[in-house]
């Protein structure tokens, strides 16, 4: 089992690595999901035309905000007052400029590469049960090359947080993990989606055993990885491969395991959600912020739960100022 060295956590910087994307959020019913061929709660890669065509059938004007899983996480770290950096690639046009400007505004250092290709985007379809189902056009974000990460972007990092979607680009995720370890950082991996786990299980196993120190999964992702319907059993299977394992179980809270010990963390509120977009990403924000600041794991989980709760009360992955005020009271 990998161990978290004290020297790692003398640092405070959390670096997120992933796709620089713009989120296109629309509220639709299950019939719309069926028409588009979406898997509820899952994610499919598509081309730009697919998203444009789907939007012509949408029932209302969509909301467009900067996003991407790892980006959402480090923005949350920045909003908590932590030190955060994002590594990814976006286009040179209006949406790419908007993406970078938003990072700076939210206390995140952009280590962003640019391209003449269009900025990537995600169509997130939010159904009345608050589930979000996604179609992703990677655009410029798919052009990041491993050698482009050899530019000091991980210098000073306590944790490099990697979104599981990079598993679909084995060369890039391998280079990312190797560069993170060479910089002396811990590696945190969010499993992203049960569809990612199902399609990349063999590669995921290899990376977890060799590189990953912290793994975060929701109940569907944990089940897909472990093959077990038992949350506790799935947690222990994940914990055997990493130093810290997390399984999030929605309105029932979360479980954290480390060194043979398990913590149950309560969820906030009554379980009602307006939109679950970004819930796992912002949970990771609170957890990693607490970790690099030396909080005990149950405290990290409590901050994480607060972040996850607040983002579920709004549309999209951006917690409003009053939500951040409530979270900071926990600190």
Q: How far apart are CA 163 and CA 288, in angstroms?
A: 14
* Rounded to 5°, angle at Cα 160 from 172 and 326: 130
What is the average pLDDT value for the chain, to the nearest integer? 92
Residues 79-97: what's their mean pLDDT? 95
Asked, for residue 60, whether it belongs to a domain, the answer is no
The domain that holds 251 is classified in CATH as 3.40.1190.20
- In 3D space, the residue among 309, 299, 292, 308 whose CA is nearest the CA of residue 330 turns out to be 299
Summarize the confidence of residues 258-265 as an average pLDDT.
96
Q: Is residue 242 part of a domain?
A: yes
Answer whether residue 126 is part of any domain: no
pLDDT of 271 above 90: no
Mean pLDDT of 152-179: 95
Kindly report the pTM of this predicted structure.
0.88
Surface-to-core class of residue 25, CB atoms within 10 Å of its CB (0-12 exposed, 13-18 middle, 19+ buried):
buried
Pairing label, strands 21-27, 120-126? parallel
Asked if pLDDT for residue 88 goes beyond 90, the answer is: yes
* Residue 8: band (very low, low, confident or very high) from pLDDT cuts 50, 70, 90: low
Domain count, the chain: 1
Q: How confident is the model at residue 5 (pLDDT cuts 50, 70, 90)?
A: very low
In this structure, is residue 222 part of a structural domain?
yes
For a pLDDT cut of 70, what percent of the chain falls above it?
A: 97
Count of CB atoms within 10 A of residue 23's CB? Answer: 24
Domain presence at residue 59 = no
Is 8 exposed, middle or buried (CB count within 10 Å of its CB: 0-12, 13-18, 19+)? middle
Name the band, by pLDDT with cuts 50, 70 and 90, for residue 150. confident
Query: 58-67, 126-135, 211-220: which has the highest mean pLDDT?
Result: 211-220
Q: Tell me if 26 is assigned to some domain.
A: no
Q: Tell the residue number behind the tokens 């719309």, with chain if given.
A: 32
pLDDT (0 to 100) of residue 64: 85
| Lowest pLDDT segment from 81-95, 181-195, 265-279 | 265-279
Range(s) of the domain holding residue 223: 6-21+67-119+139-329
Residue 96 — pLDDT band, cuts 50, 70, 90? very high
pLDDT above 90: residue 2:
no
Quick: pLDDT tens for 274-312.
878 789 999 999 999 999 999 999 999 999 999 999 999
């Amino acid at each position: 089992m990998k161990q978290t060295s004290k020297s790692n956590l003398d640092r405070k910087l959390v670096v997120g690595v992933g796709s620089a994307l713009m989120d296109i959020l629309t509220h639709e019913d299950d019939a719309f999901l069926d028409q588009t061929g979406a898997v509820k709660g899952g994610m499919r890669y598509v081309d730009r035309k697919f998203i444009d065509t789907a939007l012509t059938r949408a029932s209302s004007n969509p909301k467009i905000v900067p996003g991407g899983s790892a980006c959402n996480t480090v923005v949350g770290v920045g909003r908590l007052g932590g030190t955060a950096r994002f590594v990814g690639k976006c286009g040179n046009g209006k949406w790419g400029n908007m993406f970078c400007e938003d990072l700076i505004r939210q206390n995140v250092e952009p280590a962003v590469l640019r391209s003449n290709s269009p900025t990537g985007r995600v169509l997130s379809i939010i159904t009345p049960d608050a589930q979000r189902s996604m179609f992703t056009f990677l655009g410029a974000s798919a052009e990041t090359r491993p050698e482009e990460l050899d530019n000091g972007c991980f210098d000073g990092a306590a944790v490099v947080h990697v979104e599981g979607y990079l598993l679909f680009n084995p060369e890039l995720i391998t280079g990312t993990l190797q560069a993170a370890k060479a910089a002396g950082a811990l590696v945190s991996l969010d499993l992203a989606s049960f569809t990612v786990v199902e399609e990349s299980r063999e590669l995921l196993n290899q990376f977890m055993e060799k590189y990953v120190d912290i793994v975060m999964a929701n109940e569907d992702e944990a089940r897909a990885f472990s093959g077990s319907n038992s949350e506790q059993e799935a947690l222990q299977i994940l914990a055997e491969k990493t130093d810290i394992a997390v399984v999030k179980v929605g309105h029932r809270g979360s479980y954290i395991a480390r060194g043979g010990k398990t913590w149950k963390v309560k969820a906030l509120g009554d379980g009602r959600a307006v939109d679950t977009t970004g819930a796992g990403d912002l949970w990771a924000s609170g957890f990693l912020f607490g970790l690099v600041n030396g909080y005990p794991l149950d405290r990290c989980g409590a901050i994480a739960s607060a972040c996850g709760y607040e983002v579920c009360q709004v549309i999209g992955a951006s917690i409003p100022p009053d939500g951040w005020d409530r979270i900071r009271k926990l600190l």
